[in-house]
A and B are shown apart, each in its own frame.
Chain A
Amino acid sequence: AQKITQTQPGMFVQEKEAVTLDCTYDTSDPSYGLFWYKQPSSGEMIFLIYQGSYDQQNATEGRYSLNFQKARKSANLVISASQLGDSAMYFCAMREPSGGYNKLIFGAGTRLAVHP
C-alpha cells in the first residue's frame, strides 16, 4: 500500500487565491512526522512546513498552513494568496519510527501552476 498518496498530479490557481494540495498517509505508528517540500524547476527541494502527530494545533508558516486531520490520515497543504513564484512541484513526505525515523517517504507530488 502507498504510504503517502497525493491524488492531484496537477493543479492550477489564479494569482492571489488560496489553493489546497491533498495528501493522505498510511501508518500504524502513533508517532510520526509529516512534511511538505516545494521543488521549483531549478530542482532544489525547499522545506515548507512540518506537523508532528502529537501536535495539538495545525502548523502554519507564513502563507502556508497544514490542515491536519489525524482520524482521516490527511495532511493537506493550504497556500493562501498564491503568487506566481509558487508555481512548482509540491511533495508531501512522512517520517515514521518503523522506517527508522531517518528516512523520508515521499508522495508522487502535485504540480501547481499559478496563473496571473
Chain B
Amino acid sequence: GAGVSQSPSNKVTEKGKDVELRCDPISGHTALYWYRQSLGQGLEFLIYFQGNSAPDKSGLPSDRFSAERTGGSVSTLTIQRTQQEDSAVYLCASSLAYADTQYFGPGTRLTVL
C-alpha cells in the first residue's frame, strides 16, 4: 500500500517568507508526527497529532511554527517568517494508533536563503 507522502520534496525560500509543508499519512493511521532533522541538532520531535487534535506540541521551537491536521488525515506544518536556522529536512511519520510503530515519509528539504 501507499506509504507516507510529503510535498514538496524540496523548498527554497527567502528569509522572512512563510512556508507550508504537507504530509499525507498512511491511510487509516490515526496518529501523525512531525520531526526535524538538521546537521546541528540531529532528529528532533516537533508535534504529535491524534486525530485532528495535537496533544503534544512540546517540540515546536517557536511560535513561528504551527501545524494542523484536517479530516484525521492530511497535515500541514507552517513556518512563518522563516529564518536561516529553520533550514532542515522536515520529516512526517504516521502510526496506526498511539504508541504503535512510526512509519516515515521521504521528508521535505527546506532551505532558507
Contacts and interface: CB of A to CB of B under 8 A. Distances in A.
Interface of A: 33, 35, 37, 42-47, 50, 91, 93, 95, 100-109
A91 B102 CA distance: 13
B85 interface: no
Given A42-B106, A47-B103, A101 B45 contact: no
A11 to B, nearest CB: 18
Nearest to B45: A103
B105 A44 contact: yes
B59 A103 contact: yes
Interface of B: 31, 33, 35, 42-43, 45, 48, 50, 55-56, 58-59, 89, 91, 93, 98-99, 101-107, 109
B104 A102 contact: no
Contacts of A102: 31, 33, 48, 50, 55-56, 98-99
Nearest to B46: A103
A93 B101 CA distance: 11
Contacts of B50: 102
